Amino acid sequence: MARRPSISMVASSSHIFHVIGDIQGDRFIPNRGAMDLDLAHFNLLHEARENSHTPSEVASPVKVKSPKKQCRLTFPCQEDYRRILAESLLSCETGSPKILAFTKKIPSLSIQRCLDTELDILPSSKKPHRHICQTPERILDAPEIVDDYYLNLLDWSCNNTVAVALGSAVYLWDADTGESFQLSKCEEHDTVTSVAWSDDGRLIAVGLSSACIQLWHATSRSQIRTFRGHSSRVSSLAWNGSLLSSGSRDHKIINHDVRARAHKASVLAGHCQEVCGLKWSPCGQQLASGGNDNLLHIWDAAVASTFDSIHPGSRCAFRFDCHRAAVKALAWCPFQSRLLASGGGTVDRCIKFWNTQTGTCLSSIDTLSQVCALQWSRHQKEILSSHGYSLNQLCVWKYPSMIRIAELRGHTARVIHLAQSPEGTTVASAAADETLRFWRVFGSPNKKCGSDMKPSGLSRSASSIR
């Protein structure tokens, strides 16, 4: 089949370039060069002349198509046209388009209003904050209490009796009856440097600056034994059943078996300065010791043996050197095994939490003041800290977030010692201002885990410890 020749093949070359020059563009973009502008201008003027015969009527550009024919709508004037157009397309009240407007406007709800509505519907899971009294329940005078950060002069027995060392004497105060009496008095030029109750509350150990330890019976008020072995003052004591551990300025820790005639069971050496903090774990498997050398040692009871002069300190399970000051404040957690809290002195100011099973530091918080003592709550996940320079206050912390729940002020000097009541709700604090204050800081035990001990009240029949 023969191919039909195109226009470009028939026309001359000059005519081809003339047509291409006149019709420039493509099929998607209109080309105004192909439009007759003169004819369009004439048609516009002609239509205007026809409409000039009815000057009161202005043609509207709006056209409505009907199924039968197309008609043109006209209005008396341009203003009427605009008004009708606005009423048709726009809302008269707001002036917003009616094309996408809802028939009934949805009420505007703020985010806060939605949250308030959900809180009203859903049951509240947040427990109310427990109220902590900011004033002490009782204040006792404690004259001649030694202002020494490295000593441990306060303890509270399971029989609700408080023991406090005032100068060269030890006084006992019965919290139930309010009666107080002197248990012991040292010889001249000797002072009490530490006191500690036994687990059953029958015996009390008294450490002296003369490097010896006295063992007293609380009920009979008689001295049973005297332990020797240290070469300097005994600044810390800790009980573990029938085993009494003592820490001294001679850098040593001696474990005494109070049942045996040869009382010295073992000697632990690892510190190079005074041992000022000593605590046995609740399970009795680990002993924590803190010293003025900024070190914290964890000793395993199973491997504790006689002092090794060749490899001192080789028997300790862990050795922590993260504190930058003396480590005196030590407290084992009662609700989580192998959790220990330690506090540093003036330069350090930190409370650190340790996993003594893995030997890792779990967390640390800067308290902005010297940490003197620590006490865990037995019923809530809280811990109490007492502080020295420069704020001299007590702080209740929520564990493990370490949010400060309460801050208790009242002491005018550093709060060196803390002791907790048998039921675990009241804490006694002894400070260098020679006062002994009792604070109800911890909540009562719930019915499920409450002990069979009845709550111990504080008698108000006395105002002085002696």
In angstroms, the CA 34 to CA 25 distance is 10
Q: What's the whole-model pTM score?
A: 0.71
Tell me if 368 is assigned to some domain.
yes
CA angle 200, 332, 315 (to 5 degrees): 95
In angstroms, the CA 282 to CA 333 distance is 8
**Can you give the CATH number for the domain in which 142 is found?**
2.130.10.10
Tell me if 445 is assigned to some domain.
no
pLDDT number for residue 83: 78
Tell me if 298 is assigned to some domain.
yes
Tell me if 429 is assigned to some domain.
yes
Tell me if 36 is assigned to some domain.
no
Q: To which residue do tokens 């947040």 refer?
A: 126
pLDDT number for residue 94: 54
Q: Which residues span the domain enclosing 430? A: 138-440
Q: Output the 3-class SS for the chain.
A: CCCCCCHHHHCCHHHHHHHHHHCCCCCCCCCHHHCCHHHHHHHHHHHHHHHCCCCCCEEEEEEEECCCCEEEEEECCHHHHHHHHHHHHECCCCCCECCCCCCCCCCCCCHHHHHHHHHHHCCCCCCCCCCCCCCCCEEEECCCCCCCCCCECEEECCCCEEEEEECCEEEEEECCCCCEEEEEECCCCCCEEEEEECCCCCEEEEEECCCCEEEEECCCCEEEEEECCCCCCEEEEEEECCEEEEEECCCEEEEEECCCCCCEEEEEECCCCCEEEEEECCCCCEEEEEECCCCEEEEECCCCCCCCCCCCCCCEEEEECCCCCCEEEEEECCCCCCEEEEEECCCCCEEEEEECCCCEEEEEEECCCCEEEEEECCCCCEEEEEECCCCCCEEEEECCCCEEEEEECCCCCCEEEEEECCCCCEEEEEECCCEEEEEECCCCCCCCCCCCCCCCCCCCCCCECC
Domain count, the chain: 1
pLDDT number for residue 131: 87
Burial 207-219 (b: 16+ CB within 10 A, else e): bbbbbbbbbbebe
Tell me if 275 is assigned to some domain.
yes
pLDDT number for residue 19: 44
CB atoms within 10 A of CB 227: 20
- In DSSP terms, 339 is beta-bridged to 355
Tell me if 392 is assigned to some domain.
yes
* Amino acid letter for position 371: V
Number of residues written out for the chain: 466
Q: Which of 408, 395, 407, 400 is nearest to 380 (CA)?
A: 400
pLDDT number for residue 80: 75
pLDDT number for residue 291: 98
pLDDT < 50 positions in the chain: 1-2, 4-21, 54-71, 109, 111, 114-125, 305, 309-310, 313, 447-455
Tell me if 63 is assigned to some domain.
no
